[in-house]
Amino acid sequence: MKSSTAPSPLRGTQPHCQTCSLNALCLPLSLNDNDMERLDDIIRRGRPIQKGQLLFQQGEPFQSVFAVRTGALKTYTLASNGEEQITGFHLASELVGLAGYNNDFYPLSAKALETTTVCEIPLTQLDELADELPDLRKQLMRTMGTEIRHDQNMMLLLSKKNAEERVASFLMDISTRYARRGFSATHFRLPMSRVDISNHLGLAVETISRVFTRFQKNGLIETQGKEIILQDIDTLNQLAGLVSDDDCGHSDSK
**Residue ranges in contact with DNA by CB under 7 A:** 162-164, 193-195, 202-210, 212-213, 223-226
Looking at residue 72, its amino acid is A
Binding mask 54-83 for its own copies (x = CB under 8 A): ----xx-----------------xxxxx-x
Euclidean distance between the first and the last CA atom of the chain, given in angstroms as a whole number: 55
By a kind-dependent CB cut-off of 5 to 8 A, residue 160 interacts, out of DNA, its own copies, none, with its own copies
Considering only residues 92 through 131, tell me which ones interact with its own copies, judged by CB under 8 A: 98-108, 127, 130-131
What whole-number distance in Å separates Cα of residue 137 and Cα of residue 67?
A: 16
Instruction: Tell me phi and psi for residue 64, to 5 degrees.
Output: -145, 155
Query: For residue 34, what are the CA distances in angstroms to 19, 201, 208?
Result: 13, 42, 47
| Closer of 155 and 204 to DNA (Cβ) | 204
Distant-in-sequence, close-in-space partners of 115: CB < 8 Å, separation ≥ 6: 48, 49, 50, 51, 70, 71
28 touching its own copies, by CB under 8 A = no
What whole-number distance in Å separates Cα of residue 87 and Cα of residue 75?
A: 6
What whole-number distance in Å separates Cα of residue 79 and Cα of residue 25?
A: 32
Q: Taking the complex as a whole, how short is the minimal distance between the CB of residue 22 and its own copies, in angstroms?
A: 19
Q: How many residues bind its own copies (CB under 8 A)?
A: 59
Residues forming contacts to its own copies in the complex (CB under 8 A) are 58-59, 77-81, 83, 85, 87, 98-108, 127, 130-131, 134, 137-138, 140-149, 151-156, 158-160, 199, 201-202, 241-243, 246-251, 253
